[in-house]
Structure 1
Amino acid sequence: MAFSRCHNPPNLQCFLDSVTPVVPSRTASKSHIHDINHLWQPAGKEMIKYFELKDLWHSYEEWSAFGVSTKVVLSDGETVKQYYVPYLSAIQIYTNQTIVCNRNKAEGNVAVEFESDSWSDDTGSDKLSRSLSNDSSKAWDSISEDSSSDQPVSWSMRNKLGSIYLEYFEACSPNWRIPLSNKMTELTKDHQALTTLRSMDISPASWMAVAWYPIYHIPNSSNDKDLLTCFLTYHTLSSSFLESADDVYEDDQCHPLYMDSKLKRVGSDKIRLSPFGLAAYKMRGDLWVKPETFEHLKFTQLHDAAHSWAKQLNVYHHDLNFFSRDSIV
């Protein structure tokens, strides 16, 4: 996906560009690496482009603390800056067991993390029964009860994708969540390879979903209800589907990184993890997606891709099912 070269890109595209993490790109030769699964790497390429997971977590630190801004043009022509905070919605990391063990030993951590339960205990399920004042929280509780009837995950299929190193699905109400950066710090305590793994170490089935909740907009005089829209974005964590950040210019006004006047271009030394799937909640009117436009087609494709991904991996993604109850698709 390339950034729009126009000065006023559609609101949806501007949001997607704004919440796309950009990480340092690194390269390695296949012939000089012996501890990776070559079937997981792009075919026909001797040089592997990859990133380190710790750089990805770092890219969310400022957004988690202060929010990330996206430009929104309202129906009356007024332009506002809408701020969103990211929350980890779901993550699955499949890898070679030997890779993780070796990297933990290199860090002085002898314990093998695969010996522990790969399912996260900290899903907040005990908080689901708490009484909250808003209707969305009640709906959240009801859909949590529905999840108990979902089909169990096929472990035989997972084995073909690699060993599951980390699996986490958030299930508590947004009111009880902590920002993504804080959650990753919490998960790293029991999964220390999150700071040493590289994208080329992990299976193409590895992914994460980020929930984006609005916190405020500037100026704050507008009462547009569409500024309450929440989003869910899906991102790959594997080297198999990476996208370079070539041909990105500072006059693309969406991504905060490109608003720095000193940064005229982001070249092949960066990797953009653009969303491959998308869902929205409380999307009313046509502020974000206008009917019979390219943006509507794009939203539909990304929405379908999110559901297709969950279906292929046979996972129950709580947030996706909740957001889909309010979908325009």
Structure 2
Amino acid sequence: MEAFSQWDFPISNHSNLQCFLKCTTPTVEKRMKTCNGEAKKDLNEGFKLSELWQCFTEWSAYGVAVPILLNNGDRVIQYYSPSLSALQLYTTKPFPSSSDDHQINLKFRGRDKMNKTASNNNSSCLGSNATTRDGDDSCHKMTTRKCGYLYYQYNETTSPYDRVPFNEKISELSKQYSGLVDLHSKDLSPYSWMAIAWYPVYQVPGATNVKELSACFLTYHPLSSLSLGSQNIRLESEKVDGKRSGMSMREEICLPPFAMITYKMFGTLWISPDTSDFDFVLCQRNAASYWLKQLQFHHHDFNFMSRQFQNSASCPP
């Protein structure tokens, strides 16, 4: 048991699901000077997208470690690999992109329908217009008025086992769309979001014949400062030689999921009867469905998991 002492395993009134969500919540860390003539940063200043992607660097390389308490009392560390499932970036003002970026956006306009047809060939849906068909200017104007200016969207359709790690995909896409790293959360409308697919890769120690550990997750996260409240911001004094210092502060901006859907979440391993997890899973699934419908976004991973959802043991009969 000593090998697991550093891990925060679920206790009787907490579930493995809650532990998973805690471990996989993206967090942006920012350090602030509070003296030496430097002004303290505004807690609501938000973050650049490049700062957000930094938290995925280690996760993309090694996976996210999630401590799990098995039904027989054994403990394992399950590692989950994150991949970019979908993303939409709406800006509050027209993005001052280069002419090359603009031409790329126009090039992909209207390819949503074509790429959905090509999904059987393991293609990815890339585009600059999530809700309109070619020539439908009225629908485009309505989307702009409601959501903002759509800078970029992504919808992954390849097999989960053929996908590249999260950071590698962001690096690949940002070569054509610089806003993926240059945009700031304050520049994004509340309709900006991303979806992350989490698939298990291995456990330590290895667990055999535990089908519950094959559970996969799809989580939806906000990307705009306008979507975040004070509860998403934590401020702590940094420790220097084991002591707290008032000279420097660390700010953490958390981006917990606002929606989620699960796949292969069998049995009672993930949900504790002492919690409201059962209702939470259903509410999170409904939230994802509502979100996608209001944006008229045909999310490939959600559609796949949704078809399997009714067959899962986590659903009511």
Range class of TM-score, shorter chain: 0.7 to 0.9
Q: Measure how far apart 1:156 and its partner are.
A: 3.4
CA deviation profile, 1:277-327 (whole Å, cap 9, x unmatched): 111111111111246841112222211111111111111111011111222
Secondary structure, aligned partner of 2:194: strand
Determine whether 1:287 maps to 2:269: yes
Q: Deviations over 1:247-280 (max 9, x none)?
A: 89xxxxxxxxxxxxx799xx87110000111111
Q: Is the 8 A contact 1:25 1:49 kept in 2?
A: no
Change (3 A) 1:314 1:126: closer
The alignment-based identity, stated in percent, is 38
1:38 is matched with: none
The answer on 1:156 being equivalent to 2:141 is yes
Does the 8 A contact of 2:90 with 2:152 survive in 1?
yes
1:263 and 1:211 map into 2 onto residues whose CA distance is 39
How far 1:124 moved relative to its partner? 9.6
Are the aligned partners of 2:9 and 2:67 in contact in 1 as well (CA < 8 Å)?
Answer: no
The residue aligned with 1:205 is 191
Query: How far apart are the structure 1 equivalents of 2:255 and 2:70?
Result: 27
- The reply on whether 1:94 has 2:79 as its aligned counterpart is no
Flag structure 1 segments of 5+ consecutive residues without an equivalent: 28-45, 105-109, 131-140, 145-150, 249-261
Aligned equivalent of 1:59: 55
Q: How does 1:1-329 map to 2 (within 5 A)?
A: 8=11, 9-25=14-30, 48-98=44-94, 100-101=95-96, 104=97, 110-111=98-99, 113-117=101-105, 119=108, 128-129=120-121, 154-160=139-145, 161-242=147-228, 243-246=231-234, 269-290=251-272, 293-327=275-309, 328-329=314-315
CA shift, 1:195, in A, is: 1.7
- Counterpart of 1:252 in structure 2 is none
Gapped runs of 5+ residues in structure 2? 1-7, 33-41, 125-130, 134-138, 237-241
SS state of the match for residue 214, structure 1? Answer: strand
Instruction: Give the direction of change, closer, same or farther, for the CA distance of 1:199–1:173 in structure 2 (3 Å limit).
Output: same
Structure 1 SS opposite 2:189: coil
Aligned residue identity for 1:49: E
2: CA distance, partners of 1:263 / 1:217? 36
Greater fraction strand: 2
**Cα deviation, residue 61, structure 1:** 1.1
Q: CA RMSD in A?
A: 3.4
The TM-score with structure 1 as length reference comes to: 0.72
Give the direction of change, closer, same or farther, for the CA distance of 1:205–1:263 in structure 2 (3 Å limit). farther
- What letter is aligned with 2:234? D
Secondary structure at 1:187 match in 2:
helix
The answer to whether the 8 A contact 2:9-2:68 is kept is no
Q: Distance in 2 between matches of 1:60 and 1:6?
A: 22
Seen in structure 2, the aligned counterparts of structure 1 residues 64 and 112 have a Cα distance that, compared at 3 Å, is same
3-state SS of the aligned residue for 2:256? Answer: coil
Amino acid aligned to 1:311: K
